[in-house]
Amino acid sequence: MTDCFALLQEPRRPWLDADALKTRFLELSATTHPDRFHGGTEAERAEVNARSAELNAAYNTLKETRDRLFHLLELERGAPSRDIQRIPAGTMDLFVEIGQSCRDADTFLATTPNSDSPMLKLQRMRQALEWSDRLMGLQRQVNARRETLEATLRDLNAAWESAPPPPAPDRIQRLPLEALEDVARAMSYVSRWTSQLQERLGHLAG
């Protein structure tokens, strides 16, 4: 499989600085800009286009925390992670609350007043604001969870920096892969919850 870290000349590690990663990507992408190969042969242009597509795919993988972590786990283990849908420890309460709130918000959004009464319109507007406040409160909890997870990733970087380089036989024993997988699964839910909450907030604002 393609090593996105190697392709972007980044050392393997759980946490990456987003700005530094973007700068590196732009620097490498500049070497494959079509204008640089305008007079090249068809084979040269095809090779450059393929290289550009690889760089874009690698960047999109590494810039998204969830995707980066599962990619890193697969590189280290040589196989994709299993059971990634299992709810991480310590998130069940938030999982249940967000799920129920989204279902209840959907029910509210699906109900339309069958009257043009200004009083009923005002009442619905107030209810929509109450729902927005409730969902934004949940989003703040999700954001706090994300910040905690990102702090954990920064701490985990030390293990990767001190581990012997691949393909050293004892590398995998020196890496806290189970801890990384726990964070990866939690980040997967954080991303999903953010998407779900933002979708409902968008509908409520409209």
- How does pLDDT run across 124-171, given as a tens digit for each residue? 899 999 999 999 999 999 999 999 999 999 999 999 999 999 989 999
pLDDT band of residue 199 (cuts 50, 70, 90) is very high
Domain boundary assignment for the chain: 4-63, 92-205
Nearest CA to 72 out of 121, 23, 1, 133 is that of 1
DSSP tag of 3? -
Residue that has been written with the tokens 């242009």 in this structure: 45
DSSP tag of 39? T
> What's the whole-number average pLDDT of the chain?
91
Compute the distance between CA of residue 125 and CA of residue 148 in angstroms, rounded to an integer.
35
pTM of the predicted model as reported, rounded to 2 decimal places: 0.87
Quick one: pLDDT at residue 119?
86
List CB contacts of 88: < 8 A, sequence separation 6 or more: 182, 185, 186, 189
What are the tens digits of pLDDT across the range 35-46? 666 666 778 777
- CATH of 4-63, picked from 3.30.43.10, 3.90.550.10, 1.10.230.10, 1.10.287.110, is 1.10.287.110
